Copies of this chain bind each other. A is one copy, B any other.
């Protein structure tokens, strides 16, 4: 998980997912309402400033997904990204344990 978070682009993605609460914007009929996070395209737009380099964001989302930090699930033709709170809790617990651990001597 730390390795995944170590890349600056992925760190920005995670920060965006933490800050963001955008509902997925949709066409005229509102196909994809009531999602919890932004779509892959919205992440891309926010991180790179354009829609042109989706492949790079897709790569990083896969890494974050493999690390268990983010879930990316299909809703219609979009991919909706959400932070995995349990993973954050795991990290918090690990570092909290480490902090309070006393050596054996």
Residues of A within 8 A of B (CB): 2-7, 11, 18, 20-21, 23, 36, 83, 85, 88-89, 91-92, 95-96, 98-99, 101, 103-105
Contact = CB atoms under 8 A, between A and B. Distances in A.
A23 B105 contact: yes
Contacts of A103: 20-21, 36
11 contacts: A2-B5, A2-B11, A4-B6, A6-B6, A18-B98, A21-B103, A36-B103, A85-B99, A88-B99, A92-B95, A92-B99
Given A2-B6, A6-B3, A95 B99 contact: no
B98 A95 contact: no
Given A2-B6, A6-B2, A92 B101 contact: no
